[in-house]
Amino acid sequence: MMEILSALLTTAAWFGMCMIVFSVLAVLIPLHPRQPLWRRESFLDTIYWFLPSVLYAPLSLAMVGAGLYLMHGGDEQRIAAFVKQGYAPIATLPLWLQFVLLLVISDFIQYWIHRSFHGAAFWKFHAIHHSPKEVDWMVAARFHPVNFIVSSIFVGTLMILLGFSPVLFAMMVPFNYLYSGLVHANVKWSFGPLKYVFASPIFHHWHHTMSDQGGNMNFAPTLAIYDWLFGTFYMPKDKLPEQYGVDSDDVPEDFVGQLFYPFLNPQVQEELHAARTPKEYAESVPSQENAVIAAHAEPAPAVSETKATSIPAGAWSDTNAGNTPSTPYVDAP
Ligand SMILES: [Zn+2]
Ligand SMILES: [Zn+2]
């Protein structure tokens, strides 16, 4: 009980911090200047923000505990040693290198999990995250429990069992809060040339548009380079994302309704979201507007292009492993 109370207080502190930081940014450099700081669905998103403290923390502990027990055959001394320092060789690497490694591995896995959730079979779980018609930092936590458990708890448990130092996971908490809040924030920021490496607010806002505008692209949570490598990078040069939401307008606007939404209508519709890029969509439904979309769909540049080589070597440097993970992004929007 005390653990849950303490987790709730920690979440409240981060919630307050994110509210201040991202509200100030939304006023200074808004992507949508007329969007209010408190939206119609902000209260609902607040529930999703506090859900992990109550629901997922015990589940996460149980999964890690079960994994460790199985890996060590119940040997308490070995489990205690692992909890203290992780596993060699990964845990013996410098912390900044572990941070980079963790990001590279977990982002790769999460890219593919996220892409799978956009497929017809799992889309209804993920539609909860995509249903808001206005997007800001609060949407960062809005995930159906099934989506959250697979994308975050499962991947987090896997990373812990791989042997990364437990200290690293304490560092990841502020990073995750701030980074996922930032990419959802109502902020007109693309990270300039670093947009091919890191997910920016504009990058992720494109992901929240309808499937015929970019909603089936930009899957990486942090490293946009995976979208670039796997051909799902989408940031048109002369356009900004405008409308958000899902193609089928049937996602309930209340918490309980959203929990049951994926189960109540089991026949999976052939959603437009199912594995179609804006370009493919435009080709399948030819119209004047879609021709424009196809023309704007920026193809993922080849790895050998100058854009790839012009990525500053320092992008991966220890600036990312420090205490202020947002410091590398200093370029203008
Ligand atoms: Zn998505
Ligand atoms: Zn999102």
Centroid of ligand 1 to alpha carbon of 1 (angstroms): 33
Centroid of ligand 2 to alpha carbon of 129 (angstroms): 6
**What pLDDT score was predicted for residue 54?**
81
Q: Give the 3-state DSSP-derived string for the chain, with helices as H, strands as E and coil as C.
A: CHHHHHHHHHHHHHHHHHHHHHHHHHHHCCCCCCCCCCCCCHHHHHHHHHHHHHHHHHHHHHHHHHHHHHHCCCCHHHHHHHHHHCCCCHHHCCHHHHHHHHHHHHHHHHHHHHHHHCCCCCHHHHHHHHCCCCCCHHHHHCCCHHHHHHHHHHHHHHHHHHCCCHHHHHHHHHHHHHHHHHHHCCCCCCCHHHHHCECCHHHHHHHCECCCCCCCCCCCCCECHHHHHCCCCCCCCCCCCCCECCCCCCCCCCHHHHHHHHHHCCCCCCCCCCCCCHHHHHHHCCCHHHHHHHHHCCCCCCCCCHHHHCCCHHHHCHHHCCCCCCCCCCCCC
pLDDT digits (tens, 9 = 90+) for 96-111: 999 999 999 999 999 9
Centroid of ligand 2 to alpha carbon of 84 (angstroms): 34
* Weakest-pLDDT range from 61-75, 163-177, 212-226, 314-328: 314-328
Centroid of ligand 1 to alpha carbon of 79 (angstroms): 36
* Weakest-pLDDT range from 22-26, 233-237, 325-329: 325-329
pLDDT digits (tens, 9 = 90+) for 295-328: 444 444 433 333 332 322 222 222 222 222 222 2
Domain locations along the chain: 2-320
Centroid of ligand 2 to alpha carbon of 141 (angstroms): 9
Mean pLDDT taken over the chain: 81
